[in-house]
Structures are given as structure tokens and as C-alpha cells.
Amino acid sequence: MKRYFCIAAFTGFSLFFFLFSFLFCFSFPLRLAAQDAFPPLLPKPAVNAQAAVLIDGATGALLFSKNGDHAIPPASLAKLMTIHIALNEVAEGRASLDEVVALPPQSWAVNQPPRSSLMYLASGQIVTLRELLLGLAIPSGNDAAVAVALHFAPTVEAFAERMNQEARWFGLLSTRFVEPSGISEFNTTTALEFAFFCKEYLNLHPETLQDYHSVREFIYPKEENWPPAYRGRLRPASRSNSNTLLWTFEGVDGLKTGYIDESGYNIAITAEREGTRLILVILGASAIRARDEDGRALLTWGFEHFKTLRPVPESLAPVRVWKAKRDTAEISVEKSLLEFTTFTDRGRNLRWETELADPIIAPLPAYSEVGTLILYDDQGKLEQFPLTITSELERGGFLKRLFDAVRLFFRSLKTK
């Protein structure tokens, strides 16, 4: 019995040692590869807000993160999701920006929670969906959020569930909404997730920068928004966009600010300079001035150190293929890959080289990788991209395969 116990113990120890060695040997290169994937350390600006994330708006590359995964109430940044759902309805043909939206009592300004930011909706007003979206984007009206929610859902709670469905569709695991305006502290997001959402939002609705988020002044209600009996008796109110960086930082053209006591001062900012668009999300600043100082510092740092490069490769010649119905195949590189983030001092005097698999033998399905396209600049290798065949490579007939096999044999002898 003692002998069997020793054998079992030795076998168990050997198995454990083998598994440990296997995991260590294979995980260590992966850890090094993950470290190598990040750019060299750069001096980074000090950020006072609780959380901040800066990304390349085109590629999504993460450039800066402080507490990027900390859950914090988004405050009125939540209104971007409300606008997104409304614009999806318009894109699907189920709504029009110029349609008149009914204003149930829940949406009136007088019925909003204390200290709400308001568009000043009231009974009897005539307002379009376009005006409500402006009311969400500029004065950040909580009343406008309720009006939009009830226009597209039977209840505010049902609309909030639509917001959550959209968040899940985008893959936002920590983002949750309980109402559409952002006034509740039970709405949650992270700076990282919301920066990603802003990137997708701008991809889906690029017109919103010009039509809503960069508009500096909003006048409402105008005379035409009142019933005829009231016209001429009430004066319109003018409100300025609360994103003051629209005035003070070159290239800023959106997106949204927000504040509630539970989160502090939040902002989602985007700016574009010389073809590079940055997206910055700051959550939990202590004051508007502190929020804007963080914003200026991070955007300045981002534009100083990074840029989006969109190189155009030379035309790619067909490649030689073997044992296929045809002797050549067209190759390409996925266009989305030819847009990447690099340092501002890179990308001068670009040149391309190709490295192809040899030989390339049929059969191969369409878009099989058959080589690498390498991009160099005046400092050396900059980036590389997989080359793929553009269509299926079908196997040739028996004689074609036999003839190519013979040629490959003698070809291999010459290279030895």
C-alpha cells in the first residue's frame, strides 16, 4: 500500500511539474509580447479628475488612461445614448427630424427634478425632434430627454432598457442606464467604455458634430414654438453650449458635458487636427475649471505625441500560385488596417516591401493570408499588414498538379 502511495505521489508531482513548466514557458513570451505591444513610456500630464481616457478617434488606440475601468455615473453624458437611439430611429425611417413631438406632462420643465438642466418645455408648445436633440446637446435639457424617451417608448423605464440593450450591443459591460437624462446616480459607465462608445457614435452619426455638438448657442422657445394665442407675449431664452473648450481649444467640435453631485464634473471631448481626431473622456473632476484644465492638458499631449497615419500602398502585382486552375492570383490588404496610430515624428519618406509565402499552393479559401506588406519610414520598420488572396484558389486538374509538382521539385533543387 505504501509503495502504491509513493508511485501515485511521484506521478502527481511529475504531472504538476510538467503543467507548471508548460504554462510558464508559454505564458512568459505572451507577457513579453503584450508589453512590447505598448508604445515606449512617455512623460504624461498630471490629471486631477477621478478618471480619464484618451483614444485615437479613428483607430481606437488607447493613448492615455487613468482609472479607465472605474465605474462612475456619467451624468448628462448619458444624453449621447439618448440622441443615438433617436437618430437610429430616423435612419431606419421610423421617425423624422422635422416631425412634431407630443409633450406629455412628464416632459414639462416644471415637472423635472430639482436642479435639473432644462430646455424649458411647457404645455402647448410645438416642438420638432430636431429641436429636442439640440435641446439635449446644448442646454442639456432633462425635459428634452424625457420627451424623446416617451416619443420612442411607452415609459421612461422602457426607453432606459433600450439604452441598456444598445450598451450591450456595443459590448459595454459596465455601462448601465436607469433613465435617459443622466440625473440619476444609478446610471454608471467607465471612462474607457464611454470613450469607445463615443468613437462608435461618431462613426454612426458623423453629422452630429456640425448639427448639434459644435453649435455654440441655442434659442428656445422661439415664437413659432408657442400656440398662436401666446405668440408675441413671451421672450425666447438663449443658452450657450457648456463645453467651453469649443471656444478655447483649437479643433474641438464636440461632444458633451455633465454634472451631478455623485460624479462631479464630466466631459466627453473630441478634437481634430491635421487628419487626427482624438476622443477624451474625463469623469469626476472637482470643478469646471479643473475639468477643462485636464482636457486641455490631455488633448495637447495627445496631439504633440500621436497622429493617425493613412498610408496608400503601391499597386500590388499578382502572385505566382501552384497546382491551381490559374497560375496567378490577385492579392490585397484590408483597407481598415491601413489606418493606424503612430508617433508624430514617424511616417516620413514611406516605402513598401512585400514578403510572400513561397510556394503558394492550391487549394486555398478566399482571403487566405499569403504574405506580409511591410511599411518603412526614414527611421526603419513602421508597421506590417497581412496580405491575402482576393478570391478562392481552386485546385487544378490532375495533369496541372503533376506538372507543377515536378517544377517545384526541380525548383527546390536549385535553391539548395
- SS3 per-residue string spanning the chain: CHHHHHHHHHHHHHHHHHHHHHHHHHHHHHHHHHHHCCCCCCCCCCCCCCEEEEEECCCCCEEEEECCCCCECCHHHHHHHHHHHHHHHHHCCCCCCCCEECCCHHHCHHHCCCCCCCCCCCCCCCEEHHHHHHHHHCCCCHHHHHHHHHHHCCCHHHHHHHHHHHHHHCCCCCCECCCCCCCCCCCEECHHHHHHHHHHHHHHCCCHHHHHHCCCEEECCCHHHCCHHHCCCCCCCEEECCCCHHHHCCCEEEEEEEEECCCEEEEEEEEEECCEEEEEEEEEECCHHHHHHHHHHHHHHHHHHEEEECCCCCCCCCEECECECCCEECEECCHHHHCEEEECCCCCCCEEEEEECCCCECCECCCCEEEEEEEEECCEEEEEEEEEECCCECECCHHHHHHHHHHHHHHHHHHC
Q: What angle do CA 153, 159, 160 make, to 5 degrees?
A: 170
- Same-domain check for residues 187 and 102: yes
Are 69 and 215 within one domain? yes
Task: Please report whether residue 124 resides in a domain.
Answer: yes
Burial letters for 367-401: b for 16+ Cβ neighbours within 10 Å, e otherwise? ebebbebbbebeeeebbebebbbeeebeebeeebb
Q: Do 69 and 119 belong to one domain?
A: yes
Q: Are residues 196 and 219 in the same domain?
A: yes
Residues 278 and 404 grouped into a single domain: no
| The three cell numbers locating residue 373 | 506588406
Pairing assessment for the beta strands 380-389 and 369-377 based on DSSP bridges? antiparallel
- Domain shared by 304 and 324, yes or no: no
Residue 14 lies in a domain: no
375 and 231 co-located in one domain: no
Task: Indicate whether 342 and 299 sit together in one domain.
Answer: no
User: For residue 163, is it within any domain?
Assistant: yes
Which of 278, 308, 338 terminates a domain? The answer is 308
- For residues 294 and 407, state if they share a domain: no
The CATH code of the domain that includes 380 is: 2.60.410.10
Q: How much is the pLDDT for 40?
A: 55
127 part of a folded domain: yes
Show the domain range for 397. Answer: 319-415
CA end-to-end distance (rounded Å), the chain: 61
What is the number of domains present in the chain? 2
Q: What is d(CA 37, CA 32) in angstroms, rounded to the nearest whole number?
A: 9
In a domain, 27, yes or no: no
**CB-based contact 119:220 (threshold 8 Å):** yes
Residues 191 and 288 in one domain: yes
**Spatial distance between the Cα atoms of 151 and 99, rounded to a whole number of angstroms:** 11
Q: Is residue 40 part of a domain?
A: no
Query: Same structural domain for residues 245 and 335?
Result: no
Side-chain half-sphere exposure of 375, counting CA atoms within 13 A: 23
User: What CATH number is given to the structural domain containing 177?
Assistant: 3.40.710.10
Domain boundary among 249, 284, 308: 308
Does 181 map to a domain?
yes
Tell me the pLDDT of the chain (416 aa) as tens digits.
444 434 444 444 344 333 333 333 333 232 222 233 345 567 889 999 999 999 999 999 999 999 999 999 999 999 999 999 999 999 999 999 999 999 999 999 999 999 999 999 999 999 999 999 999 999 999 999 999 999 999 999 999 999 999 999 999 999 999 999 999 999 999 999 999 999 999 999 999 999 999 999 999 999 889 888 677 666 778 889 999 999 999 999 999 999 999 999 999 999 999 999 999 999 999 999 999 999 999 999 999 999 999 999 988 999 999 999 999 999 999 988 999 999 999 999 999 999 999 999 999 999 999 999 999 999 999 999 999 999 999 999 999 899 989 898 888 887 66
For the full predicted model, state whether its pTM sits above 0.75: yes
Decide which of 246, 275, 308 is a domain's last residue: 308
Based on the domain organization, do 350 and 232 belong to the same domain?
Answer: no
Residue at 33 is within a domain: no
